[in-house]
């Protein structure tokens, strides 16, 4: 991600106003009224500079939900996706997980600012097994969930499995949104029962981030294909990948450096008419 000198200076001045007791800047955006971190050059940067974040994804995912839907957010960050999606759907059966204490604090503020206090927001990481994990809480990107040696910005977080955290009374989950900075496979390893009853999974796909977490594109594909039939590749033009197509398509992208795709895995055997895409 290339960040201009003027942007760095502008965000440095914004951040100075928060020392020593400020938490964030309140912004009015298309995604909602949100407290954002001026030192974050990813989500907050988009919200401050453009007034929106991943609005195409918000629009598409909102179509999948009703007021009765159940939704899970893995890596909810500050709620930039959660807030507009949940408000549009009208559902309050929502569980969110965010490992960064700073992001979790802003997430709670943003839920309150947007009248979504019924949403359950847990300050934990998700993985294949319960325990403790040390991460670098990197403000240049979202919570940078990479294993690191002890440093000034290290945090240690509690890890649980999705299967242990999702109520067994939830017989179906309409949508899971997952953004785990390369730890998607690790989170899915602890979510076999949960994924088996999940209808749609919206997830980041980055071969480089997977490799940094000692995972692989092959493992990612194996996990996804064991629970879902097809995939939609979101972008300027949404593409539908049929059951026999999406594993080979994603595998062919493995050598691409810097690739980051937004994928929606589903149980559709043919393209959904509401997305307006062709096979």
- Which of 171, 83, 174, 73 lies closest to 122 in space, CA to CA? 73
Q: What percent of the chain has pLDDT over 90?
A: 71
**Mean pLDDT of the 1-18 span:** 51
Burial 180-208 (b: 16+ CB within 10 A, else e): bbbbbbbbbbbbeebbeebbbbbbbbbbe
Domain housing 206: 54-275
**Mean pLDDT of the 45-62 span:** 93
Return the SS3 of 246. Answer: helix
58 vs 4, higher pLDDT: 58
Q: What is the tally of structural domains in the chain?
A: 1
Give pLDDT, residue 141.
46
Q: Answer yes or no: is 32 within a domain.
A: no
- CA 27/CA 47 separation, integer angstroms: 8
Q: Answer yes or no: is 41 within a domain.
A: no
Asked if 221 and 247 touch (Cβ cutoff 8 Å), the reply is yes
Q: Could you report the per-residue pLDDT of 147-165, keeping only the tens digit for each?
A: 444 455 678 999 999 999 9
Q: Answer yes or no: is 43 within a domain.
A: no
For the CA atoms of 35, 38, 44, 50, what is the dihedral angle to 10 degrees?
100
- Domain with residue 141: its CATH number is 3.40.50.150
**Mean pLDDT of the 134-145 span:** 58
> Which residues make beta-bridge pairs with 230?
266
Q: Answer yes or no: is 29 within a domain.
A: no
267 vs 21, higher pLDDT: 267
Q: Could you report the per-residue pLDDT of 30-52, keeping only the tens digit for each?
A: 999 999 998 887 899 899 999 99
Q: Answer yes or no: is 18 within a domain.
A: no
Q: State the DSSP code for 23.
A: -
Q: Answer yes or no: is 136 within a domain.
A: yes
pTM for the model stands at 0.87
Q: Answer yes or no: is 9 within a domain.
A: no
Q: What percent of the chain has pLDDT over 70?
A: 85
- What pLDDT band is residue 279 in, cutting at 50, 70 and 90? low
Q: Answer yes or no: is 135 within a domain.
A: yes
């Amino acid at each position: 991600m290339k960040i201009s000198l003027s942007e760095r200076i502008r965000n440095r001045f914004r951040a100075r106003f928060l020392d020593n007791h400020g938490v964030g800047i309140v912004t009015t955006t298309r995604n909602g009224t949100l407290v954002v971190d001026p030192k974050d050059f990813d989500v907050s940067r988009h919200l401050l500079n453009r007034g929106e974040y991943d609005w195409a994804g918000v629009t598409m995912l909102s179509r999948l939900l009703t007021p009765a839907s159940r939704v899970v957010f893995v890596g909810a960050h500050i709620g930039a996706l959660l807030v507009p999606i949940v408000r549009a759907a009208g559902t309050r059966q929502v569980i969110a997980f965010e490992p960064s204490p700073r992001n979790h604090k802003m997430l709670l503020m943003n839920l309150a600012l947007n009248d979504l206090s019924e949403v359950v927001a847990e300050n934990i990481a998700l993985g294949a097994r319960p325990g403790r994990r040390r991460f670098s809480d990197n403000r240049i990107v979202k919570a940078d969930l990479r294993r690191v040696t002890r440093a000034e910005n290290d945090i240690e977080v509690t890890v649980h499995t999705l299967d242990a955290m999702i109520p067994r009374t939830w017989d179906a989950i309409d949508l899971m949104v997952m953004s785990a900075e390369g730890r998607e496979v690790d989170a899915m390893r602890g979510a076999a029962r949960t994924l088996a009853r999940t209808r749609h999974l919206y997830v980041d796909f980055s071969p480089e981030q997977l490799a940094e977490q000692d995972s692989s594109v092959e493992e990612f594909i194996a996990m996804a294909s064991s629970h879902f039939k097809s995939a939609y590749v979101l972008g300027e033009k949404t593409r539908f990948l049929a059951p026999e197509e999406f594993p080979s398509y994603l595998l062919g992208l493995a050598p691409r450096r810097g690739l980051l795709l937004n994928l929606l895995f589903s149980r559709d055997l043919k393209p959904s008419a509401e997305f307006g895409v062709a096979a």
